[in-house]
Structure 1
Amino acid sequence: MMNKKFLYIALIILIFTFGLIYFNSPLRSNRNYPIITGSFIQLDMTQHWNSNDWKNELNYLKENKMKYIIITNVSQTQGNITNTCYKNNISGYKKIYGNIDPVELCLKNAEHLNMKVFIGPNFNTDWWQVPADNYLWLNSQMERANVVADDLYKKYHSKYPNAFYGWYFPYEVDNAKYTKISEFKNLANAINIHINHLNSKGERLPILLSPFMNSSAGTANQYSSNWQYLFSKTNFKKGDIFCPQDSVGSGRLNLEEVNSWYTALKKAVAKKPGMLFWSNAENFDYVNNSSVPLDRFLKQLTLESPCVDNIICFSYSHYYSPNNIDSGFNKAYSYYVEHGKLPYKKLDSPQNLTITTVENNKFKISWSVPKNTDNICGYEIYRDNILISRIMLQRKYGGNPNGFSKSIIDMPLLKENTKSCTYTVRSLGFSGNVSKPSNSVSVNIDTFAKLPHLLSKNCKYSITPLPHEKYNDVHFIKLTDGKYSSINSSKSSDFVGWYNDPIDINIDLGKIQPVQQFVVDYLRDPIPWAELPERASIGISEDGINFTPVGLLRIPSVPFSDRNGSRYPIYLTLDKPINARYIKLTSITKPNYYTFIDEFEIRN
């Protein structure tokens, strides 16, 4: 009898203890749906913030169950010149942002609110140009980071011991730049220079690093294997955090790829005892550099949460905070945090859609806002039910002050058997919901038809400059062989590619003959940075020396919804044939992008 009584008492105590733990645990506060627990803040955005601004910002985060802040741009180096945004004690380092010290203001308010701050000590902007095998350069940056870390720790840690929680490793590694074990070995050595210094100085705090990934540059398993190797060579310890960017906002991963990449990387982290695995969810859209509606952001959280210990984001403060954008984003997310679902309210439709012809096959689409604009964060424009543009509310810092207009210019890609197109506009809500469409307006467009006689098949040509070595045309045959790529990807060997450079392609038809149409088949594949050119023109010549310009190629508008590889046949058709032997395409590549072409045809 006593044994049963003892068991009952023990059971009651166990239930009470579990209930106490549960009701005070993240599981209870999450209510079994994923939320973010922190945000990056780039300090250039805060250069004019006072203490009240910081207090307001951190309160927004705190109210939404966040407790981690990662501040970057504390000090920046370009070449050998270093500027700091805080009041440093390092000889030769210049203080910027006047008398404001955003590091102090952040830590002060975080200490008061019991929030935890990770600080990135230094970043050299040359990182994006320096190759991965230049270990001497990276090692030297670790030495600079150590100097700044010493200064930060001495200045702030004893003053704000609870808020000054950790270090952020600011060099963003990816699987396009870092591809070899030897490069990860050099990276591991550099990280150890930093870790060992912090250990020796008694400044060792949890370290968070946040690389990113690109599905066009390799596989998830390859990337996981390289990180597993790095973890085996580095002095990370229990409590350090591997927190990859989900790369959805930047377009380097598609939503459907996220779970498999985090699943693979989780296996690498599991090989490092005590290391935590977080995700860094991106709440922006690279296509229009805007805040993303919350439905997509929450899909990211749902896909990532089964794989990771915690989720933070880049960046609530930049893209959702009322300090920097319309409060509707924060209200919608706060509702989700409280209720586990987004608020979906009926939106009024845009009014008075009108189409004006700017020039042949080029149109201005304009509309009026509805009388009730509550809960509207933007407008979506459709051409033949395809989403071609999204106009969003703009951020105060980092946004386009002229970006929230009620009109766009559209140049549809002309196709065979398409003689008209129809436009509509919908209102877009903060939660990602849309209104019913506006009135529709149709316009006539020209059809594109290739002229029957192909003159350039297997013709010789020259190229200036030579293509990128990875996408070469060694025998100068690919652009006139008549072979179009069967896949719309830069990985296809049928495409020839150039990085950053303007291109001249000069085809020799072998004899003077009438020419009338010029067709260039471009690839647009945004994940591996392949874009349509800024502009392109055609010149003709009879002697190959003196060229006469005959016109510009018509570069069409790229639909907002075109996120994957697509071929764009872009052409110029003259009103009547003109005699020529040599045809030169001059194509201007967008800065820091690739141009890919698989065929250049001359017809009459």
Structure 2
Amino acid sequence: MKNKKAILIVSILAIALFTFIYFNSPLKSNKNYPIVTGSFIQLDLTQNWSDSDWKKELTYLKQNKMNYLVLSGVSQTNGNITKISYKNSNTNYPKLYPNVDPVDLCLKNAQKLNMKVFMDTNYNDEWWQISPENSAWLNSQMERSSLIADDLYRNYHRKYPNAFYGWYFPYEVDNAKFNKFNKYDYLINAINVHLKTLSERNERLPILLSPFMNSSAGTAKEYEADWKYVFSKTNFRKGDVFCPQDCVGSGRLKLEEVNSWYTALRKAVDSKPGMLFWANAENFDYANNSSAPLDRFLKQLTLEQPCVDNIICFSYSHYYSPNNIDSGFNEAYSYYVKKGKLPIKKLDIPQNLTVSTIEKNKFKITWSSPKNSNNICGYEIYRNGTLISRIMTQRKYGGNPQSFTKSITDIPLLREDTKHCTYEVRSLGFSGNVSKPSKPAVVAVDSIKKLPNLLSRNCTYTLLPMPHENYNDAMLKKLTDGKFASVNSVKDKALVGWYTKPIDITIDLGSSKQVEQFMVSYFKDTISWAELPDRASIAVSEDGVNFTPVGLFRIPSVPFSDRYGSKYPLYLTLSRPINARYVKLTSVTKPNYYTFIDEFEVRGN
């Protein structure tokens, strides 16, 4: 009898022990669906946060099973001036936020919640303008970063030893700027200098790097080789973290490309024993500077999970936290964390859709919210079935309250086969679900009638200024040879490109002819910094010296759904023909962008 009681007691204790271990181990939280375990926080967001704000923010993250923070913007250098965000007696460093110490507040609350913080050191905003081969500049930044790191370590590591977990390397490496091994050599040397200094001062904590990639600048296989080369020569050690941005939010990778790039980079990381491989999932949308609906964000996590050891994001605090945006995002994500699926609630349909004419072929679209606007984070507007605009609820910090309106202006691209535009609007939910469409509104538009006689084929022309050297037209033949770009890429040899400067293209028709229609074929791809012009006009001349303006091209609206490059043939048709030998296009490029053109046509009847 005693033996049976002993066996029963042992069994109960064993079950209790297993239950305790299970519910406090990764087995319990390791579900089949991916979640993020941390977030970046840029300190400019927190400049007015109190201790209670930090506590509230980190509690939101902790409730969603996040344990890691990456704190950036700790100190910033512009020219020779370095400003810091933390309290320090060194008067050489002006304070970014004089009335608060966000570093202390973050570490204090992170320690209470058992969260681990990767600490930024210093970032110099000249990074994007400096050549990767400028070793003197790179090494000087590492020296400054090491000084700031020493400052931070002395001030905070002993005070918050459990929260002050690691360092964040703030200089973002990419496969456009760093496209050859010899360029990486300078980066490798700089990183090793920084790591050596940290080690010599006994401040060598785990370090996290978060580079990015652009599929238009290279292949996944090439980037894998780049990082294998870097890892073979850098003094990273066990526990350091390679955490590339997934680049979906910035548009540099298409969603369907994510898995193949992380698969390739997994091989690179595996070449460095002990290195951890994390993903940095982007939960924003560059196209309208907004928070991404959660269905897209979770697709990213699903594609990345098989490849990586862990996933964090940029940035829950900026784009999903109730501290900075409608709490619907956090409520929907928290539901997902608990249930493994998003809450999909039926959304009511927008009301009172109207389209009014501002001017010829330019329209104002307005609508009203449904009576029940619960669970709605925005609206999607469609023209002839194409998503042309997404209006999203705005962030408190970093958003634009005026952008969340129930009205847009649309200038449709005129086509040969389109005489009407049909507009519809749908409600959009935090989970990415949409309502049924509103009642449609139909308006008439002019259709393009291409005139039959192409007068400019193989004509000579002049360019002012000459194109960018990477997208040149050395023989001055591309723009009138009738050869259009066959792929939507700035790499297509038919395209000619200019950077920033306004352009004059003057065609010599050889003799005076009756001209009536002009067409310029532009290429737009935001990821490649190729945009439609600010404005474009045509002028004509008989002598090539005295030009008479004859009209402006209408620059169309770019649909929200146009993400990865499209051609925009713009037409200007006169009410009656005029005589001209010389035809000049003046196209004003948007500052800091490219203009790309593959054909410029002059036509008549």
For Structure 1 versus Structure 2, the TM-score category normalised by the shorter chain is over 0.9
In the alignment, the residues of structure 1 paired with residue 450 and residue 131 of structure 2 have an alpha-carbon distance, to the nearest angstrom, of 44
Q: What is aligned with 1:591? A: 591
In the alignment, the residues of structure 2 paired with residue 392 and residue 536 of structure 1 have an alpha-carbon distance, to the nearest angstrom, of 31
Q: What is aligned with 1:68? A: 68
How far the C-alpha of 1:331 sits from its partner, in A, is 0.3
In the alignment, the residues of structure 1 paired with residue 262 and residue 12 of structure 2 have an alpha-carbon distance, to the nearest angstrom, of 40
**Alpha-carbon displacement from aligned partner over 1:4-34 (angstroms, at most 9, x marks no partner):** xxxxxx9999999877655433342142210
In the alignment, the residues of structure 1 paired with residue 90 and residue 125 of structure 2 have an alpha-carbon distance, to the nearest angstrom, of 20
In the alignment, the residues of structure 2 paired with residue 578 and residue 87 of structure 1 have an alpha-carbon distance, to the nearest angstrom, of 72
**Alpha-carbon displacement from aligned partner over 1:289-318 (angstroms, at most 9, x marks no partner):** 000100000000000000000000000000
Give yes or no for the alignment of 1:214 onto 2:247.
no
Q: Do the aligned residues in 2 keep the contact of 1:258 with 1:304 (CA within 8 Å)?
A: yes
Q: What is aligned with 1:82? A: 82
SS in 2 for 1:95: coil
Q: What is aligned with 1:495? A: 495
In the alignment, the residues of structure 1 paired with residue 386 and residue 471 of structure 2 have an alpha-carbon distance, to the nearest angstrom, of 32
How far the C-alpha of 1:185 sits from its partner, in A, is 1.0
- AA of the residue aligned to 1:562: D
SS in 2 for 1:421: strand
In the alignment, the residues of structure 2 paired with residue 15 and residue 493 of structure 1 have an alpha-carbon distance, to the nearest angstrom, of 70
How far the C-alpha of 1:526 sits from its partner, in A, is 2.7
- When the two structures are aligned, how many residues end up with a matched partner? 596
Q: What is aligned with 1:484? A: 484
SS in 1 for 2:512: strand
How far the C-alpha of 1:490 sits from its partner, in A, is 1.2
In the alignment, the residues of structure 2 paired with residue 423 and residue 331 of structure 1 have an alpha-carbon distance, to the nearest angstrom, of 32
- AA of the residue aligned to 2:588: I
Q: What is aligned with 2:349? A: 349
Q: Do the aligned residues in 2 keep the contact of 1:78 with 1:126 (CA within 8 Å)?
A: yes
In the alignment, the residues of structure 1 paired with residue 173 and residue 14 of structure 2 have an alpha-carbon distance, to the nearest angstrom, of 46
- AA of the residue aligned to 1:179: N
- AA of the residue aligned to 1:409: T
How far the C-alpha of 1:465 sits from its partner, in A, is 2.0
Q: Aligned runs of 1:188-587 on 2, under 5 Å? A: 188-587=188-587
Shifted more, 451-460 versus 231-240: the winner is 451-460
In the alignment, the residues of structure 2 paired with residue 225 and residue 13 of structure 1 have an alpha-carbon distance, to the nearest angstrom, of 53
Shifted more, 497-506 versus 196-205: the winner is 497-506
**Alpha-carbon displacement from aligned partner over 1:115-146 (angstroms, at most 9, x marks no partner):** 11111111011111112222221111111111
- AA of the residue aligned to 1:424: E
SS in 2 for 1:140: helix
How far the C-alpha of 1:148 sits from its partner, in A, is 0.8
In the alignment, the residues of structure 2 paired with residue 27 and residue 574 of structure 1 have an alpha-carbon distance, to the nearest angstrom, of 72
RMSD: 1.8
Structure 2 unaligned blocks of 5 or more: 1-9
Shifted more, 302-311 versus 128-137: the winner is 128-137
SS in 1 for 2:348: coil
- AA of the residue aligned to 1:97: Y
Q: Do the aligned residues in 2 keep the contact of 1:517 with 1:573 (CA within 8 Å)?
A: yes
In the alignment, the residues of structure 1 paired with residue 360 and residue 465 of structure 2 have an alpha-carbon distance, to the nearest angstrom, of 34
Q: What is aligned with 2:35? A: 35
SS in 2 for 1:61: helix
Q: What is aligned with 1:7? A: none
How far the C-alpha of 1:592 sits from its partner, in A, is 2.6
Q: Do the aligned residues in 2 keep the contact of 1:90 with 1:151 (CA within 8 Å)?
A: no
Structure 1 unaligned blocks of 5 or more: 1-9
In the alignment, the residues of structure 2 paired with residue 485 and residue 16 of structure 1 have an alpha-carbon distance, to the nearest angstrom, of 69
Give yes or no for the alignment of 1:92 onto 2:92.
yes
Q: What is aligned with 2:6? A: none
In the alignment, the residues of structure 2 paired with residue 475 and residue 22 of structure 1 have an alpha-carbon distance, to the nearest angstrom, of 72
**Alpha-carbon displacement from aligned partner over 1:379-414 (angstroms, at most 9, x marks no partner):** 000111111100000001111120100010111111
Residues 450 and 18 (structure 1), Cα distance of their counterparts in 2 relative to 1, 3 Å cut: farther
TM-score by length of 2: 0.96
Shifted more, 494-503 versus 173-182: the winner is 494-503
In the alignment, the residues of structure 2 paired with residue 546 and residue 20 of structure 1 have an alpha-carbon distance, to the nearest angstrom, of 88
Q: What is aligned with 1:181? A: 181
Shifted more, 445-454 versus 211-220: the winner is 445-454
**Alpha-carbon displacement from aligned partner over 1:482-518 (angstroms, at most 9, x marks no partner):** 1112212112111111222222212222222222211
Shifted more, 75-84 versus 328-337: the winner is 75-84
Q: Do the aligned residues in 2 keep the contact of 1:30 with 1:337 (CA within 8 Å)?
A: no
How far the C-alpha of 1:228 sits from its partner, in A, is 0.6
**Alpha-carbon displacement from aligned partner over 1:136-166 (angstroms, at most 9, x marks no partner):** 2111111111111111111111111111111
Q: Do the aligned residues in 2 keep the contact of 1:217 with 1:528 (CA within 8 Å)?
A: no
Q: What is aligned with 2:135? A: 135
In the alignment, the residues of structure 1 paired with residue 518 and residue 213 of structure 2 have an alpha-carbon distance, to the nearest angstrom, of 38
SS in 2 for 1:308: coil
In the alignment, the residues of structure 2 paired with residue 232 and residue 308 of structure 1 have an alpha-carbon distance, to the nearest angstrom, of 20
Percent identity between matched residues is 70
In the alignment, the residues of structure 1 paired with residue 446 and residue 466 of structure 2 have an alpha-carbon distance, to the nearest angstrom, of 35
SS in 1 for 2:414: coil
**Alpha-carbon displacement from aligned partner over 1:354-390 (angstroms, at most 9, x marks no partner):** 0000111111000000000100000000111111100
Residues 410 and 18 (structure 1), Cα distance of their counterparts in 2 relative to 1, 3 Å cut: same
In the alignment, the residues of structure 2 paired with residue 435 and residue 387 of structure 1 have an alpha-carbon distance, to the nearest angstrom, of 14
SS in 2 for 1:193: helix
- AA of the residue aligned to 2:169: F
**Alpha-carbon displacement from aligned partner over 1:224-266 (angstroms, at most 9, x marks no partner):** 1011100111110000000000000000000000000000000
In the alignment, the residues of structure 2 paired with residue 112 and residue 14 of structure 1 have an alpha-carbon distance, to the nearest angstrom, of 31
Give yes or no for the alignment of 1:123 onto 2:134.
no
How far the C-alpha of 1:35 sits from its partner, in A, is 0.3
In the alignment, the residues of structure 1 paired with residue 418 and residue 430 of structure 2 have an alpha-carbon distance, to the nearest angstrom, of 35
- AA of the residue aligned to 1:209: L
Q: What is aligned with 1:3? A: none
In the alignment, the residues of structure 2 paired with residue 275 and residue 602 of structure 1 have an alpha-carbon distance, to the nearest angstrom, of 60
Residues 25 and 543 (structure 1), Cα distance of their counterparts in 2 relative to 1, 3 Å cut: farther
Residues 512 and 152 (structure 1), Cα distance of their counterparts in 2 relative to 1, 3 Å cut: same
In the alignment, the residues of structure 2 paired with residue 547 and residue 71 of structure 1 have an alpha-carbon distance, to the nearest angstrom, of 58
- AA of the residue aligned to 1:317: S
SS in 1 for 2:266: helix
How far the C-alpha of 1:588 sits from its partner, in A, is 1.9
